[in-house]
Amino acid sequence: MKYRSMPGIDRPLSEVGFGVWSVATPWWGVKDEELGKKLLRSAYEEYGITFFDTADVYGQGKGETILADALSGLRDKVVIATKFGYDIYAKRGDRHGGHSELPQRWDKESIRKSCEESLRRLKTDYIDIYQLHNARMEAIVSDEVYETLERLKEEGKILTYGVALGPDIGWRDEGLAAIEGGRMDMVQIINNLIEQDPARELIKAAEKQNRALISRVPHASGLLDGTYDPDKHFDKTDHRNHRPVKWMQAGLQAVKDWGFLYKESDRTIGQAAILFCLASPAVKSVLPNITSEENLREFATAPEKTPLTAEELQKIEELWENGQKTALKQPFSNSKTKPTPVAK
């Protein structure tokens, strides 16, 4: 494993982190809690992963409790990020939007309550990175939000804070506001070979502003790690069921263009996808979806492989600008065209 530093954190982040949503929710198929704990522990003990990203809304708190149980005794050796903003205590009838989205609360009382509850579930007295979860613009520019987070920093309950952006909710403008506003310590984005917009613009802004980024979904819902099967039906609880089929099909076509990244090299396509995200020094860690010992081993060893060359990165940019950008324009379920379930 290789490591990168983030301002405000006294321990380095592993270049490959562990997104706890893959073992705390049904979206990626790990429904065995003991397997989830084993993967989390093995990530640290066997592969040197020190960065773990979760959220209070994952499994209605399970994403934090399972992490605390799996990493018992290791608190001073790992970096923990969690998220807040959704009212996980709201009644089901209060939900709205896609995926039965919970209402969001950004007042100081709700933020403090969320923080205290996360600390309790994580069995710790501080959170390394505290992130607004899928925040709209009004939260990103709210003085009350910043003032509350600054008080929590002064009290030692959080070390740094930022925002995890959600493309279903707010993306480019929100990302630029968070990066260029000068108050966020970090921003979490989606970036991969198939979803390069607006990530390219956000990465350039982060490099200019010396702002830290965390990159998630490096494998584009399985297109870039060989796990997506166009003939397979995904249950409605599976995240891939919410991807438009035409976009997934365009992604499969695009993957053929990237054979030069992994054929006749020491990389798999899944490892090349992670190295693509790590090509920017602004990116401190990448969060692949880890659901088995096999892909844990593959993804965690990606930093050991040959980094992408300047020539390879230039060819990726040329492919993107010369057609892939247009073909892969509709990535998420917030589009006006309703996603069609994958045929059995």
Beta pairing class for 13-14 and 3-4: antiparallel
| % the chain with pLDDT above 70 | 82
| pLDDT > 80? residue 86 | yes
User: What's the pLDDT score for residue 286?
Assistant: 98
Residue 244: which of 308, 303, 168, 315 has the closest Cα? 168
Work out the end-to-end distance of the chain between its first and last CA atoms, rounded to an integer number of angstroms: 39
The verdict on residue 339 lying in a domain is no
Cβ-contact 63, 55 below 8 angstroms? yes
| pLDDT > 90? residue 121 | yes
User: What's the pLDDT score for residue 344?
Assistant: 25
Question: pLDDT band at 255, cuts 50/70/90?
Answer: confident
| % the chain with pLDDT above 90 | 69
Question: pLDDT band at 195, cuts 50/70/90?
Answer: confident
Question: pLDDT band at 220, cuts 50/70/90?
Answer: confident
The verdict on residue 338 lying in a domain is no
User: What's the pLDDT score for residue 334?
Assistant: 40
92-to-64, 246, 333 alpha-carbon distances in Å: 21, 32, 21
User: What's the pLDDT score for residue 171?
Assistant: 86
| pLDDT > 60? residue 224 | yes
Question: Mean per-residue pLDDT for 264-282?
Answer: 95
User: What's the pLDDT score for residue 169?
Assistant: 67
Per-residue pLDDT tens over the stretch 61-81: 999 999 999 999 999 999 999
Residues in the chain: 344
User: One-letter amino acid identity for 88?
Assistant: I
Question: Mean per-residue pLDDT for 4-32?
Answer: 87
Where in the sequence is the domain holding 117, given as residue range(s)?
A: 3-327
> What's the total number of domains in the chain?
1
| DSSP code, position 86 | B
Question: pLDDT band at 124, cuts 50/70/90?
Answer: very high
Note the helical H segments in the chain.
21-24, 33-45, 62-70, 108-122, 137-140, 143-154, 172-180, 199-209, 245-255, 269-277, 293-300, 310-319, 325-327
| pLDDT > 90? residue 275 | yes
pTM value? 0.88
The verdict on residue 333 lying in a domain is no
User: What CATH number does residue 55 fall under?
Assistant: 3.20.20.100
Distance between CA atoms of 274 and 216, rounded to whole angstroms? 10
Question: Mean per-residue pLDDT for 147-156?
Answer: 98
| pLDDT > 90? residue 191 | yes
The verdict on residue 16 lying in a domain is yes
The verdict on residue 334 lying in a domain is no
The verdict on residue 126 lying in a domain is yes
Provide the edge-to-edge strand list for the sheet that holds 283-287: 18-19, 51-53, 79-84, 127-133, 158-164, 186-190, 212-216, 283-287
The verdict on residue 340 lying in a domain is no
Question: Mean per-residue pLDDT for 83-89?
Answer: 93
Residues 6+ apart with CB under 8 A from 129: 6, 9, 53, 79, 80, 81, 82, 158, 159, 160, 161, 162, 185, 186
Question: Mean per-residue pLDDT for 160-171?
Answer: 86
Distance between CA atoms of 4 and 176, rounded to whole angstroms? 23
The verdict on residue 163 lying in a domain is yes
Per-residue pLDDT tens over the stretch 304-338: 999 999 999 999 999 988 877 766 665 544 433 33
Residue 271: which of 301, 235, 233, 229 has the closest Cα? 301
